[in-house]
Amino acid sequence: MRASPLLAQERISAVVFDLDGVLVDSFAVMQEAFAAAYAEVVGDGEAPFEEYRKHLGRYFPDIMRIMGLPLEMEEPFVRESYRLAGRVQLFDGVRELLSDLSALGVRMAVATGKSGPRARSLLDGLGVLRHFEHVIGSDEVPRAKPAPDIVFRALDLLGTPAQRAVMIGDATTDLAAARGAGVAAVAATWGEAEVDLLLAENPDAVVNAPGEVLALVAASS
């Protein structure tokens, strides 16, 4: 773990998490759902998942617009994501991290590229929804990441000033949203993150395992 002096200025009292690639290992399910949606709406040919993964962290309709793919892919993508949700698992150490942060009285929220209902359903099924005061989806703010709206919304709901919060994300869109909201941007590298791209954004801290988030918070006390 490495951290900038910014994180030493205030005690961290709130953590805002991205969902996919940070809390949950959903990469394989995402790939399968994307392939099914592509086959159903576009037809023959290989689904361009490698291009899709470059935009992970964004709201699905925004990715479709960027890639020039039909917005009609959203319905089968969401349907397949729900169907396959039982295969999504928490990353090792995440359950313990959430319990430890809760025990410290740290307030937590999720700010995700998913829709709010799908994110809450997934976390509920994994038995960890209770740890989060708020789970905010990209469909519940005016502008999705990389705009800061979703982080501003989390801070407002938590009643926490930006200087006492951090955001943990695995995509450059997460870091941009955090910085736009004045929140320390923490890069998580344990999922399918493009680590070189994250490091090029000079995050305020880098954490290589969920337990390092706890150490980051404890070091600010």
Tens-digit pLDDT profile for residues 78-128: 999 999 999 999 999 999 999 999 999 999 999 999 999 999 999 999 999
Q: pTM of the full predicted structure?
A: 0.93
Quick: pLDDT tens for 165-204. Answer: 999 999 999 999 999 999 999 999 999 888 999 999 999 9
Residue 5 has pLDDT above 60, yes or no: no
Sign for the pseudo-dihedral over CA of 118, 47, 146, 168: positive
CA distances from 95 to 27, 98, 130 (A): 19, 5, 12
Q: Is 18 a catalytic residue?
A: yes
Q: Is 20 a catalytic residue?
A: yes
From the list 18, 149, 174, 204, the catalytic residue is 18
Residue 143 has pLDDT above 50, yes or no: yes
Residue 1 has pLDDT above 60, yes or no: no
What CA dihedral angle connects 89, 203, 176 and 25, to 10 degrees? -10
- Orientation of helix 149-158 relative to helix 172-180, angle to 10°: 60
From the list 20, 25, 149, 204, the catalytic residue is 20
Contacts of 83 (CB under 8 A, 6+ apart): none
Q: 93: which 2 tokens?
A: 């150490």
Sign for the pseudo-dihedral over CA of 144, 30, 154, 220: negative
SS3 category, 168: strand
What is the DSSP-derived secondary structure letter of residue 129?
G
